[in-house]
Amino acid sequence: MEFLDRLREKSAVQKIEKFFPAIAFLGGFSWDSMTIGSKVYETDLVFLSIYFLIAFASIYFIATRKNVDCCDSANNDEPEDKTLQGYYRIALSNEWPQKWIDRLTWLVQFCFGNLYSALVICYFKSSGTIASFIIVLVLATLLVGNEFLKEKYEKFGVCLSFFCLLGTMLFNFLIPHLVHGMGAIWFFLSILLSLGICYLLWLKSEHRKKALIAPVSISIALSVAYLANWIPPVPLVLKQQIVCKNFDNISYSCDADKFNFWQRNGFARATIHKNDSEEIYFMSSVYAPTDLKAPIEFRWYYKDPAKNQFKMTDKISSTRMVIRGGRNLGYRSYSKKKNIPAGTYRVETAYKDGAVIGSTTFNVIEGMPKNGFVRDSLR
């Protein structure tokens, strides 16, 4: 450690050190985007768990420490060797010199940053509504803000608050991988686990009960957000959506309108042209981890021209519409509508009675498309 302290005193290292938070942020986020952003592996879950445990240990030592600078230096039992004196006192009375507190808060910042980075990516992939995207935006804001909060992490209350939030969001992501299932029971178990760990940390500290106000408030807020279907349904990820006709349920192929330049680049809505008697199909594929099972449903909305508002017309589900994870390109399913009038529609692929995984808005038009049809399929 003395070598590191001498190294950090050099002017060149101090200049580089100023840019380290930004470098670490960009490097970590880029790595997570390339790895977790494409597929979640068991090693990713292990690393996330390790970051959580290191953060827990660091906060524990911050919570139980007594700053050596504030304590009485007179102790007849201490060794005369001054080089060993500081370490001897730490071992006897849990007193931590400021340089060790700096290292602990750096560990907290580092672990929080990695957890935020991974969770932003994972929750963003599963967000299908504006409300769920706001949750992701909050995590992204905390991810950026984490780079400037190192000194704040010396305060036990600040650490405990962010640790409770990260714990709940992490457990909500990890538990479905472990139990191969989803649902309210597992989300509220995530909240109880995170809040319970924070309570144990508080018990080991000498802080007042007001340190628990923020963790409890965060837990209540997350519970309300979940009941309102604002929490993204991790770890489900929408892979592909197609609106079409003339569906073949063996190859999952159908006839879709050929996209123009604006539709292909997301600047215009998709369209599907049809005749009076033709059925309209909506297909989607949803990725889930191996062995995970989760029921899904399709929610059809029609935009009332008079009120210019979407109104739900159908909620389609069945015992067969249960995701069975493991297929890299996603579990494929579809719904259909007969005698559908022309107009603007939105279809949501959602966890049954829960949060939306993804949605698309399209126009149904009578007649033949100008650019013709193309045979498309769910890969």
Residue 314 lies in a domain: yes
Instruction: Mark whether 66 and 212 lie in a shared domain.
Output: yes
> 235: which residues sit within 8 A by CB, 6+ positions away?
40, 122, 126, 173, 176, 177, 288, 289, 292
**Which one of 178, 197, 227 terminates a domain?**
227
How confident is the model at residue 180, as a pLDDT? 93
How confident is the model at residue 101, as a pLDDT? 79
* Number of domains within the chain: 2
Closest to 346 in 3D by CA, of 225, 243, 238, 219: 243
Instruction: Mark whether 275 and 343 lie in a shared domain.
Output: yes
In terms of DSSP H, where are the helices of 205-342?
213-227, 261-264
Instruction: Mark whether 219 and 285 lie in a shared domain.
Output: no
How confident is the model at residue 371, as a pLDDT? 84
**Contact criterion met (CB below 8 Å) for 273 and 319:** no
Residues of the chain with pLDDT under 70: 1-10, 12-38, 65-96
- Distance, CA of 146 to chain centre: 16
pLDDT in tens, 44-58: 899 999 999 999 999
Closest to 143 in 3D by CA, of 27, 29, 17, 19: 29
Instruction: Mark whether 192 and 102 lie in a shared domain.
Output: yes
Instruction: Mark whether 210 and 283 lie in a shared domain.
Output: no
How confident is the model at residue 346, as a pLDDT? 96
pLDDT in tens, 285-318: 999 998 899 999 999 999 999 999 999 999 999 8
Residue 232 lies in a domain: no
> 121: which residues sit within 8 A by CB, 6+ positions away?
32, 33, 36, 37
How confident is the model at residue 333, as a pLDDT? 93
**Contact criterion met (CB below 8 Å) for 283 and 242:** yes
> Quick one: CA dihedral 227, 120, 126, 322, positive or negative?
negative
Closest to 41 in 3D by CA, of 136, 183, 177: 177
- As a whole number of angstroms, the distance between CA 163 and CA 193 comes to 12
Instruction: Mark whether 210 and 311 lie in a shared domain.
Output: no
Residue 95 lies in a domain: yes
In this structure, the dihedral spanned by the alpha carbons of residues 252, 253, 257 and 260, taken in order and rounded to 10 degrees, is: 90
- As a whole number of angstroms, the distance between CA 345 and CA 360 comes to 8
Instruction: Mark whether 251 and 353 lie in a shared domain.
Output: yes
CB atoms within 10 A of CB 201: 24
Instruction: Mark whether 279 and 344 lie in a shared domain.
Output: yes
- Three-state SS at 156: helix
Closest to 356 in 3D by CA, of 214, 236, 223, 224: 236
Instruction: Mark whether 356 and 333 lie in a shared domain.
Output: yes
Instruction: Mark whether 154 and 78 lie in a shared domain.
Output: yes
**Which one of 209, 227, 245 terminates a domain?**
227
- As a whole number of angstroms, the distance between CA 31 and CA 134 comes to 23
- The domain containing residue 95 runs over which residues? 2-227
Residue 11 lies in a domain: yes
> 341: which residues sit within 8 A by CB, 6+ positions away?
364
% of the chain with per-residue pLDDT over 90: 56
Residue 134 lies in a domain: yes
Instruction: Mark whether 211 and 123 lie in a shared domain.
Output: yes
How confident is the model at residue 44, as a pLDDT? 87
Maximum distance among all alpha carbons in the chain?
96
- As a whole number of angstroms, the distance between CA 250 and CA 237 comes to 23
**Contact criterion met (CB below 8 Å) for 127 and 232:** yes
